[in-house]
Structure formats: C-alpha cells, structure tokens
C-alpha cells in the first residue's frame, strides 16, 4: 500500500521493472498514465513529481536494456557485451540515489488546492 511519502519511489521502481520488458517509455506512459495519475491524485501527490519519478525509473531501466546505444555500438564496432558491465555498475550506483532523491525532493511540493481549469480541488475525493 502506497503512502504519499512512498508513492514516488514506488512509481520509479514500477517504471524501471516494467521498462525491462517494454523498452518504449512513450507507449508505456500512454497506457499507464490514467491509473498512475489517478493514484497520485487520490494520494494527493504532486502530479508533476509523479511524472518525473516515472521518467527517472524509466531512465534506470535504459541502463540495463540499452536500446538507445545500438546506433553508437554500430558506429564504434562494439558489441553490447562491451558496455553492459559499465551500464550495470552505473545502474547499481544510481538506483539508491534515485530512490532517495525522488522521496526526499518531493517533500516541498504540495498538492494544488485549485485546478488551472477552474474550480477547487479541496472537496474532491
């Protein structure tokens, strides 16, 4: 069960795990955005920070499954095995850093009490 405190870290982990199996962040977001944002809204977590946390998790997954590196590997005449050790080491270092930062840096962000489209969000549940 997520709390407003743990939700950004859970979203980052969720995005990273799913990113290992579905490497396209944009297509994943189109499918997942409605329920991820609804959960953030219900927990009253800043919606922009939810998107940022999701994207950071996706970036972590790209270190393990580096489809972004295929053109560079072709140009340099390298194989994936030549870079996987380095990208995995970077992944291991960045996972705790990202989880701590998405948790700590969300603290000053508050859920808006108004909607830019008009109306108050105070009485909504």
**pLDDT score, position 13:** 93
- Tokens 């953030």 belong to residue: 40
**pLDDT score, position 117:** 52
The values of phi and psi at residue 120, to 5°, are -100, 145
**pLDDT score, position 120:** 54
SS3 120: strand
Q: How far is the C-alpha of 32 from the C-alpha of 19, rounded, in Å? A: 12
Q: What is the pTM of this model?
A: 0.78
**pLDDT score, position 93:** 94
Give the start-to-end residue ranges of the domains of the chain.
7-104
SS3 90: helix
Q: How far is the C-alpha of 50 from the C-alpha of 11, rounded, in Å? A: 7
**pLDDT score, position 28:** 83
pLDDT in tens, the chain (125 residues): 788 889 999 999 999 998 888 877 778 888 888 889 999 988 988 888 999 999 999 988 888 887 778 888 889 888 888 888 888 899 999 999 999 998 888 877 777 765 555 555 555 54
């Amino acid at each position: 069960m997520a709390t407003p405190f743990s939700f950004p870290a859970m979203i980052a982990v969720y995005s990273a795990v799913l990113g290992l199996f579905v490497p396209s962040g944009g297509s994943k977001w189109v499918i997942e955005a409605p329920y991820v944002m609804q959960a953030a809204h219900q927990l009253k977590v800043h919606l922009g920070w939810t998107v940022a946390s999701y994207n950071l998790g996706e970036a972590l997954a790209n270190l393990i499954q580096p489809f972004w590196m295929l053109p560079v590997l072709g140009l340099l005449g390298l194989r994936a095995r030549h870079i996987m050790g380095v990208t995995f080491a970077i992944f291991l270092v960045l996972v705790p850093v990202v989880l701590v930062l998405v948790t700590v840096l969300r603290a000053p962000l508050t859920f808006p009490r108004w909607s830019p489209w008009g109306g108050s969000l105070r009485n909504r549940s």
